[in-house]
Amino acid sequence: MVKDAMEWKTSQQPVNYPEALSFMEARVAAIHEGGGQECVWLLEHPPLYTAGTSAQAEDLLNPQFPVFETGRGGQYTYHGPGQRVGYAMLDLRKRAHAPDLKKYVCDLEEWIIRTLSMFDVKGERRSGRVGIWVMTPEGEKKIAAIGVRVRHWITFHGISLNINPDLSHFNGIVPCGISEYGVTSLHELGKEISPRDVDEALRSSFERVFGF
């Protein structure tokens, strides 16, 4: 696949969730029909919660923001200002001899880990726990979430990385169904990094992991 066949979209103003979902649905359909480019869209949302296919009603503790049902995997997730979301619409049939969802999720984890390393932050996987984790003086905390959906082996949804969100907003849910560990951000780790710098790091790391 040629390098310029990948479209990169970047939005600096918050994007309403239904608008983002409609775009992804349309792009996945276009890719499946053979007339659409693969795409990565970096954006942020206004404060909201999304419920994945495994969401448990009791994990919605205080619905202080709009709640959207979505077809991605996973449980409840918060999105809001200060968090960078990366939606990836990729054709997995072009990535390997046989499409492999487990490898794709591993590659998303690697994308985040390499991005964090560019800011001298060590992101880590944890067996049985979705997302990327970092060690803090208070113990390990989650800094990035992953939630994907695949249709006709074409991906949508993706990742979210906490730059400097209001972490108290996570108190309205049990993030990803995990109550034993907290949530953190680059800001809380002492890293004052702009969204534009994070976008540049995400793009550079993506190309190294996915081969563009």
- How far is Cα 135 from Cα 50, in angstroms, rounded to an integer? 26
Between CA 7 and CA 205, with CA 176 as vertex, the angle to 5 degrees is: 30
Secondary structure of residue 67 in the 3-state scheme: strand
Please provide residue 74's backbone torsions phi and psi, each rounded to the nearest 5 degrees. 100, -170
Secondary structure of residue 117 in the 3-state scheme: helix
- How far is Cα 188 from Cα 195, in angstroms, rounded to an integer? 15
List the catalytic residue out of 176, 183, 186, 209. Answer: 176
176 given a catalytic annotation? yes
| Residue indicated by tokens 């390499």 | 114
Please choose, from the candidates 142, 150, 145, the residue with its C-alpha nearest in 3D space to the C-alpha of residue 103: 150
Residues with active-site annotation? 176
